[in-house]
Structure 1
Amino acid sequence: MSKRLLIVAHAPSENTLSLRDAVERGARSETGIDVRVLAPLQAGPDDVLAAQAVILGTPENLGYMSGALKDFFDRSYNACLEKTQGLPCALYIRAGSDGTGTRRGIDTILTGLRWRAVQEPLLCKGPWQPAFVAQCEELGAAMAAGLAAGIF
């Protein structure tokens, strides 16, 4: 049975879509991993319960996560609370500013869920840089490789 990596990422612009696509491309570079990519409004608790690891992605909106990602957490939190403790996760934020409020908001939710961040959040901040795409691809590849190797 293959392990599932769930990517829940809000991608309302061409740039954020390129980041989500890069995370997916990196994740699919690992064989034997079932990669599922969903927009936050399409994802729910059943998707999380079926996954062995999760990557979350959001733009910074008014110093916070996107409303769509917040909606995903609102709909999934209680159903996942006792069933997904220790779930390995990673986060990337496309931040026009510094991403601090966005990170703090998501960290609070992940702490409550007791999900386990397996790396520091990737903050793609400031003016757009093509390097963000490569960093997101590395994030996806690292998560998939860690999951395949049984590291988490």
Structure 2
Amino acid sequence: MFEAVRSGAGTDEVQGVEVVCRPALTASPVEVLEADGYLLGTPVNLGYLSGALKHFFDQIYYPCLETTVRRPFGAYLHGNNDATGALRALESITTGLRWRAVRPPVVVTGEPGRADLAACWELGALAAAEAADTLGS
């Protein structure tokens, strides 16, 4: 799923966007402040966001709260069965940050299929296009 999202974000159809990938545990508030949009991916562990993504949000929330308002983001989640708790947490945190979803999160339970990977590619491309529009504004 990550590779599909990254491929979509780096499509030649969207110009002027540099795709930078960082693991959630190493992404810093400075990097978030420097970015024009965000793509977030996480496994769903025990019905909740991964500890790594939760740690990311804990680290960047207050330093980025006022400066990143209305920035576009996309998200994809992968779990074995139920992702309801993870979706609720993601929506709560990103609503608090006042980020703007480019589309509803891609949620996959079980093995990702061809349609799931296509949705991930589209998510990446759409988020890149939104970030490019932000740059042009």
Normalized against structure 1, the TM-score is what?
0.81
Once residues 131 and 21 of structure 2 are traced to their aligned partners in structure 1, the CA distance between those partners, rounded to angstroms, is 16
Structure 2 residue 129 is the aligned partner of structure 1 residue 107:
no
Question: Offset of 1:34 from its aligned partner?
Answer: 0.8
TM-score computed with the length of structure 2 as normaliser: 0.89
1:79 corresponding residue in structure 2: 63
Runs (5+) with no aligned partner, structure 1: 1-18
Q: Which amino acid aligns with 1:75?
A: Q
Q: Percent identity?
A: 45
Shift of 1:128: 3.5
> By how many angstroms is 1:103 displaced?
0.5
Counting only pairs closer than 5 Å after superposition, residues 129-148 of structure 1 correspond to structure 2 as 129-148=113-132
- Report if the CA contact (8 A) 2:72-2:99 is conserved: yes
1:54-97 deviation line (CA, Å, top 9, x unaligned): 11110100000000000101111110111111111111111211
Contact 1:45 1:80 (C-alpha < 8 Å) held by counterparts: yes
Match of residue 95, structure 1, among 76, 79, 96: 79
- Which structure has the higher relative contact order (CA within 8 Å, separation 6+)? 2
Distance 1:84 1:146, change over 3 A: closer
Q: Give secondary structure in 2 for the equivalent of 1:37.
A: coil
Pick from 13, 16, 35 the counterpart of residue 32 of structure 1.
16
Which residue of structure 1 aligns with residue 104 of structure 2?
Answer: 120
Give the CA deviation at 1:145: 2.1
Instruction: Report the RMSD for the aligned CA atoms in angstroms.
Output: 1.7
Per residue, is there more helix in 1 or in 2? 2
Residue aligning to 1:23: 5
Structure that is richer in strand per residue: 1
How many residues are matched?
Answer: 134
2: distance between equivalents of 1:56 and 1:126?
Answer: 19
SS for the counterpart of 1:91 is strand
